[in-house]
C-alpha cells in the first residue's frame, strides 16, 4: 500500500472504532496453496492418501514432514484473565476470542507461524460461564496435542496458582511431547531482560552491581524474577513488594507453596509493612524499578519516589493502559530511562518482539522444550538488534515489533541455542542460509497479504 492509502485507512479505522476495526483486522482466511484440480483427487485424497498415513504410522517423524502440524501453534486460553485485566474478572473463553485471534494474526504476520485459537470452556445457554479446572485444562491439551507443533498459553488467572500449575503440569507431564510456553509470563520476561540489557548498557551500569525494585507479585513478576536469576541476577539484588507491602518472610498471607510464596525467603528482606512505606523502602537506593501490577488512572506509584533511586535510574512501568508511573512524570523526577507497555510512548516493552521469532526458531529445529537459555538468547538477539539502529539510546532501547531482521535474529539465536543444549529434533545445517530462509517466509506472508488486500478491495 502507498503511504496515502495507509493514511486514509488509518483515518477510517479510527472513525469506525475498535469493534469494527478488530472485525476487519482479525480477518484471516485459509487458502489452498495448490492447484485445485479434482482429477488428481485419487492421488492426493482417497485412496492415495492411505500412503502418507501408513508412513506416519511407521515413523512418527513423518507427521512433521507430511502434515502442517509442525508449524501450527495452539493459542490456548480459558479467558480467566483477559488482557491481564484483573479488575474485570473472568470474561470467559467466548468473549476472549478476539484477543486470541489478534494474537494469531501477530504470530502469522511477524513470524510466519500458523497460530490457531483454542479457547477452553464454554458459555452455557443460560449465560453461565464454565471454565476448565487445572486437570481438565491439561487433559484437553494432552488429548489435542497431535494437531499442534507447540502450545502458547495466554490470559490464564493466577488465583490458586492456576497458570503456574498448568504450565508446570504440561511441561513435566511426559505425555505432552510438544513445547509449552506461557506468553504472559515468559514472553514478557524475555522482553524485560532485552530492555534491561540495553538500559544498563546506555546507563553504564553493570548487572552485578545493581539493585532491582519489583512492584507486583503476579505471574509476570514471578516469571521475570525467575528469568533474571537465570540471567545471573542474585536474589539478594531483588526487592519485591505488592499492594499489601513488601514480599518477604514476614508475609504470612502468602502461601509458601505458591510461586510467589517461594520467593518470600529468597529476595532481599525488607520487612516493611504497609503499602506506601513498602514501595518507598524498595525503591530507595535501587537502580532499576520494574512494575507489573495494576492499571490505575493516574498511576499506582507516586513519581516523587523516583528521586530516592540511584543516579541514572531505570523505570519499567508495564501496567496497561495506565502505567504505574507516567513515563513523562518519571523523567521529570529524574529517571534516566523510562519504558512502558504502551505503543504511544518511547520504549515500548512489547512481547510481540519476542514470541514470533522464538516460535519460528523452536518450530524450525523442532525443539522439544523452550529452555531458559533459549529464552535468554532471544533477549540477546532483540537487544543487539536495537543497538544497530540509529536511534539507539535512552529513548530507543528496544526495536519495533515489525522489525523483520529482529525476528530473523531471534529465530536464529533460539534455534542455535536449542541445538547446543541437545533439544533440537531437527538440526539446522547453516545459520546464514537459515536466516535467509526465515526472512523469505516472513516476507511471503506480508506480500501475500498485500496482494489479498488489493485483490479483495478491503476498505
Query: What is the set of active-site residues?
Result: 45, 103
For a second copy, the binding residues in 8-27 under the rule CB under 8 A are 9-10, 13-14, 17-19, 21-27
Check the CA dihedral 306-309-312-314 and report its sign.
negative
3-state secondary structure of 298: coil
- Beta carbon nearer to a second copy, 121 or 299: 121
Residues sharing a CB contact under 8 Å with residue 252, sequence separation 6 or more, in sequence order: none
**Cell 502458547 belongs to residue:** 152
Of 295, 268, 297, 296, the closest CA to residue 283 belongs to 268
Residue 150 C-beta: closest distance to a second copy, Å: 15
Total residues at interface with a second copy (CB under 8 A): 119
User: What are the residues whose beta carbons fall under 8 Å from the beta carbon of 438, sequence distance 6 or more?
Assistant: 112, 360, 364, 407, 408, 411, 412
CB 161 within 8 A of CB 81: no
Binding to a second copy by residue 298, rule CB under 8 A?
no
CA 26 vs. chain centroid, Å, equals: 19
252 lines the binding site for a second copy (CB under 8 A): no
- 28 contributes a contact to a second copy by CB under 8 A: yes
Whole-number minimum distance, CB 459 to a second copy, in Å?
10
Pick one of 111, 132, 179, 245: the residue that binds a second copy (CB under 8 A): 132
For a second copy, which residue of 70, 73, 111, 118 counts as binding (CB under 8 A)?
A: 118
Q: Which is nearer to a second copy, 71 or 371 (CB)?
A: 71
- Asked whether position 345 contacts a second copy by CB under 8 A, the answer is no
One of 95, 134, 254, 419 touching a second copy (CB under 8 A) = 95
* Strands ordered across the beta sheet of 245-246: 245-246, 238-242, 212-215, 288-291, 314-317, 337-340
Q: Is 286 strand, coil or helix? A: coil
Smallest distance from a second copy to CB 112, Å: 9
Angle between helices 188-203 and 372-387 (to 10 degrees): 50
Q: Check residue 4 for interaction with a second copy (CB under 8 A).
A: no
Nearer to a second copy, 429 or 455 (CB): 455
> Is the distance from CB of 353 to CB of 362 less than 8 angstroms?
no
> Quick one: 147 or 387, whose CB is closer to a second copy?
147
Q: Which is nearer to a second copy, 68 or 209 (CB)?
A: 68
Interface residue with a second copy among 135, 209, 343, 436 (CB under 8 A) is 343
Q: Does 273 bind a second copy (CB under 8 A)?
A: no
Mask of contacts with a second copy, 398-417, x by CB under 8 A? --xxx---------------
d(CA 263, CA 246): 12
DSSP β-ladder status, 150-153 and 337-340: unpaired
Count of positions (residues) in the chain: 459
Binding pattern to a second copy, positions 171-200, x when CB under 8 A?
Answer: ---xx-x-----------------------
Q: Minimum distance from CB of 66 to a second copy (Å)?
A: 5
Q: Do residues 409 and 385 lie in contact, with contact meaning Cβ atoms separated by under 8 Å?
A: yes
- The minimum distance between CB 442 and a second copy, in angstroms, equals 10
Does 66 interact with a second copy (rule: CB under 8 A)? yes
Contact segment (CB under 8 A) with a second copy among 134-142, 182-190, 232-240, 267-275 equals 134-142
Amino acid at each position: 500500500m502507498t503511504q496515502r492509502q495507509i493514511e486514509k485507512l488509518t483515518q477510517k479505522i479510527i472513525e469506525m472504532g475498535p469493534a469494527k476495526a478488530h472485525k476487519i483486522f482479525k480477518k484471516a482466511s485459509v487458502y489452498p496453496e495448490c492447484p485445485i484440480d479434482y482429477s488428481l483427487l485419487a492421488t492426493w485424497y482417497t485412496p492415495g492418501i492411505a500412503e502418507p498415513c501408513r508412513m506416519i504410522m511407521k515413523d512418527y517423524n513423518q507427521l512433521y514432514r507430511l502434515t502442517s502440524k509442525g508449524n501450527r501453534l495452539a493459542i490456548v486460553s480459558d479467558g480467566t484473565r483477559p488482557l491481564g485485566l484483573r479488575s474485570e474478572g473472568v470474561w470467559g473463553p467466548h468473549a476472549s476470542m478476539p484477543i486470541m485471534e489478534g494474537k494469531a494474526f501477530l504470530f502469522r504476520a511477524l513470524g510466519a507461524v500458523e497460530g490457531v485459537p483454542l479457547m477452553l470452556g464454554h458459555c452455557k445457554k443460560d449465560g453461565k460461564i464454565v471454565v476448565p479446572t487445572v486437570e481438565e485444562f491439561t487433559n484437553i491439551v494432552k488429548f489435542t496435542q497431535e494437531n499442534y507443533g507447540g502450545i502458547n498459553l495466554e490470559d490464564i488467572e493466577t488465583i490458586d496458582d492456576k497458570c503456574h500449575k498448568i504450565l508446570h503440569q504440561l511441561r513435566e507431564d511426559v505425555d505432552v511431547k510438544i513445547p509449552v510456553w506461557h506468553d504472559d509470563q515468559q514472553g514478557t520476561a524475555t522482553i524485560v531482560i532485552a530492555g534491561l540489557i540495553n538500559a544498563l548498557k546506555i546507563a553504564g551500569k553493570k548487572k552485578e552491581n545493581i539493585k532491582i525494585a519489583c512492584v507486583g507479585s503476579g505471574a509476570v513478576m514471578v516469571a521475570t524474577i525467575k528469568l533474571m536469576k537465570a540471567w545471573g541476577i542474585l536474589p539478594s539484588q531483588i526487592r519485591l513488594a505488592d499492594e499489601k507491602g513488601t514480599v518477604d518472610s514476614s508475609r504470612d498471607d502468602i502461601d509458601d507453596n505458591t510461586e510467589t510464596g517461594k520467593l518470600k525467603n529468597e529476595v532481599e528482606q525488607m520487612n516493611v509493612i504497609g503499602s506506601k512505606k513498602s514501595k518507598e523502602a524498595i525503591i530507595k537506593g535501587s537502580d532499576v524499578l520494574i512494575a507489573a501490577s495494576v492499571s490505575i488512572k493516574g498511576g499506582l506509584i507516586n513519581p516523587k519516589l523516583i528521586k530516592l533511586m540511584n543516579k541514572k535510574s531505570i523505570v519499567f512501568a508495564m501496567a496497561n493502559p495506565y502505567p504505574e508511573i507516567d513515563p513523562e512524570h518519571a523523567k521529570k523526577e529524574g529517571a534516566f530511562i523510562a519504558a512502558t507497555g504502551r505503543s504511544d510512548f518511547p520504549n515500548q516493552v512489547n512481547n510481540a518482539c519476542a514470541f514470533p521469532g522464538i516460535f519460528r526458531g523452536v518450530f524450525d529445529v523442532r525443539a522439544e522444550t523452550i529452555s531458559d537459555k533459549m529464552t535468554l538468547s532471544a533477549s540477546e538477539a532483540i537487544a543487539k538488534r536495537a543497538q544497530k539502529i540509529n536511534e539507539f539510546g535512552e529513548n530507543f532501547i528496544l526495536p519495533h515489533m515489525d522489525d523483520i531482521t529482529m525476528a530473523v535474529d531471534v529465530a536464529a539465536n533460539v534455534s542455535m541455542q536449542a541445538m547446543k543444549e541437545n533439544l533440537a529434533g531437527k538440526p539446522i545445517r547453516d545459520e546464514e542460509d537459515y536466516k535467509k530462509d526465515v526472512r523469505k517466509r516472513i516476507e511471503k506472508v506480508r506480500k501475500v497479504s498485500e496482494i489479498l488486500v488489493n485483490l479483495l478491495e478491503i476498505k
